[in-house]
Amino acid sequence: MTHNTPCPSPSPTSPRTVRHLSDVQRRVTTAARLRSRGVSAAEASEQCRPGGPWQQLLPGVFLLHAGPPTSEERLHAVLMYAARETSAPAGVPVQPESDGPHRPVYKEAMITGLAALTLHGLTSAPPLLSLEHIDVLVPRLRRLRSAGCAHVVRAASLPTPEQATGVPVAPVPRALADAVSQLTEAGTVRRLLSEAVRGGHCEPAAVVRELNNAKLLNRPHVVDAVDSLLAEGRAIAEDRLYTMVSEYGLPDPVWNVDLRLPGGPHLGGLDAYWPEQAVAVELDTRAPRQDEDALWSEYARKREHLERLGITVVHITPKKLRDAMDQQAAVVRTALMASGDRDPAAYVVVLPR
């Protein structure tokens, strides 16, 4: 097999699944590791002859058995190919001092794109067996080319990898951006973004931030998917806000209202408002796009205006509602209890939004 030959397609009938296996390096290894065991390049090539017991999956990466590689073997082969050298031979996992099972550790390389989304558990992403190539994220300045089933994706700075089924993977927002950059079908993009948010893998703002950084928000099918994503993200955040009020025993507010001064200007919309206590909750569902600063300035101006009128504004992000609902309920309860210690708020007209 030459360096330009794609990795053999995995067998769809392979009994192996993508799970953590501590012995993966016994089946997939590198040329450097073989040399350290006394196997020369010529001897390795002889083992990879047609009909031989080994295969060369990628430049410098070998599969030590005949037959198609499993999905797990392809993942580790790609990581071994892309990982930066450590004190161990190139691409060799660093092993802890333990006699027990261990996970391979790869330096400055992680799975991203559709493969990462599959490993994160998104059902909208295709099965690993169907992927012709596996995206691997590396630093931008690495001198590394795509080869075979390894598709190199570069980043100015790498995100902190997460572990999924024993391999390092990019966080969902980054993996989404890398996947979307290669997708042209609007329905596929919409399904991936929707499941990522609906399934609690990430917040819409994080997804839009990565798409914006990747300069993908000028593609019409991506913009349409983002608009749907933001609408769905707001609906999810509103449901969580309803749940917070109910489950933590807060008094019922009036929901989704506009405030106006009597005979005066519009003061802005609020997600929840307690008129007797003059306490408001506003969900921050801004998406980080080009006009983020302008949007934040609008939020800040509205908040300052309301607080000058004696209305306390509690600003809550969807992420805080998801990860720390009890803390957000405590903040709102404290604001409601403190209302008796404040001067009366100005009279405002409350209208349905």
- pTM exceeding the 0.85 threshold for the entire prediction: no
Is residue 274 in some structural domain? yes
Is residue 223 in some structural domain? no
- The whole-number pLDDT of residue 37 equals 87
- The whole-number pLDDT of residue 288 equals 60
Looking at the 3D structure of the chain, how many domains does it have? Answer: 1
- The whole-number pLDDT of residue 233 equals 86
- The whole-number pLDDT of residue 103 equals 58
Is residue 17 in some structural domain? no
Report the CATH number at residue 328: 3.40.960
Is residue 305 in some structural domain? yes
Is residue 196 in some structural domain? no
Is residue 298 in some structural domain? yes
Is residue 176 in some structural domain? no
Would you write out the chain's pLDDT as a tens digit for each of its 353 residues? 444 445 554 443 333 333 433 477 788 988 988 988 899 999 988 898 988 899 999 999 999 998 899 999 999 999 999 997 654 444 444 444 344 445 567 899 999 999 999 999 999 999 998 999 999 999 999 889 999 999 999 999 999 999 998 899 999 999 999 999 999 999 999 999 999 998 889 988 899 999 999 999 999 999 999 998 888 888 989 999 999 999 999 999 999 999 999 987 888 899 999 999 999 999 987 666 545 555 556 777 888 889 899 999 999 988 899 889 999 999 999 999 998 888 888 899 999 98
CB 125 within 8 A of CB 192: yes
- The whole-number pLDDT of residue 98 equals 42
- The whole-number pLDDT of residue 270 equals 93
Is residue 327 in some structural domain? yes
| Containing structural domain, residue 343 | 247-352
